[in-house]
Amino acid sequence: TALSDESRRRDIVGALLGIFAVFIQSICVVVSPITVVVLAMKRRWVSAVIAMTPLVAYVAWYLTYQKRNDAYRWDIGGSYPQARDIGLFFDFTWHTLSRTVWQSAHAPIAALLIVLIVSGSVHLWRQGGERRIILISAVTASCIYLAGFTWSRGFVTLRTFQIEVPSRYASVIAILLLPIAAVGLARICAPVRAKLALSKRAVAVIGVTSLAVVFTFNTYQRFDSHDTDMEIAELARNTIFVAVDDPELASKPQTDFVFGESVFFDLINSDLLRFKRLGWL
């Protein structure tokens, strides 16, 4: 039927977008199998098979490019032993949640966000249908990813180097959880709006103003460390160009770090040779 044809086209377009998304944001590697499970539970077998395409593309990439000898991989486990416990998972989770809305981690922000997520989750769960499925998928993917981040990066980040959780980790969780938190915020603010008899225009102004304030504070914090960041960037650039111009670069151990033993800079000698060969340097 025409409806079935349209549904199939949407599945195919969704799968193609999923393939594209996997290579942009790694959260899609987790979302993809969850989507397949949800579709299988609804007995949409053809759609489930189509939805597996992004995961198949990722596995193919991993088994071909990522397994090559000159791929961007090395083992730092021996140099930086990691001890994982419940406390580490708790710390990494609240730090990551807080970083989804603020430049630095603060426990009250994480606590407030959890309250909003719970409120939004309860509301979406009660509505049932597709919204309940989306809720389950988003929360499940977030939990899996938080566990994965903690296992692979938590100890080095919070214990070894004692630095903030990288914003790129927080952004993955923000994609899935902030919309749920927004639902919770709207639900909590509804009685206040009714009591104050606020118009839709007033609510819109308050919402836009709040977003502007958060954006301004985050921007200020970024520019507050701008000079230091630029100094580090200039030093890194000079180090890279000196290493690239070294005639003995090809004979050096290709898995050695360009910046000594610093894992802050994810760059090894084979990367420089590959970038030079591609004309990027």
DSSP string, 134-172: HHHHHHHHHHHHHHHHIIIIIHIIIIIS--PPPHHHHHH
b vs e for 203-222, b when ≥16 Cβ sit within 10 Å of the residue's Cβ? beeeeeeeeeeeeeeeeeee
pLDDT tens-place string over residues 125-153 = 998 877 888 888 888 888 888 888 888 77
CB 22 within 8 A of CB 57: yes
> Is the pTM for the entire model greater than 0.75?
no
Give yes or no for residue 72 having a pLDDT over 70: no
Considering the chain, what percentage of its residues have pLDDT values greater than 70?
81
SS3 204: helix
Q: What's the confidence (pLDDT) of residue 205?
A: 82
Quote the distance between the C-alpha of residue 167 and its chain's center.
Answer: 8
Distance CA 183, CA 135 (A): 11
Distance CA 272, CA 281 (A): 8
Question: Which is more confidently placed, 83 or 253?
Answer: 253
Q: What's the confidence (pLDDT) of residue 223?
A: 62
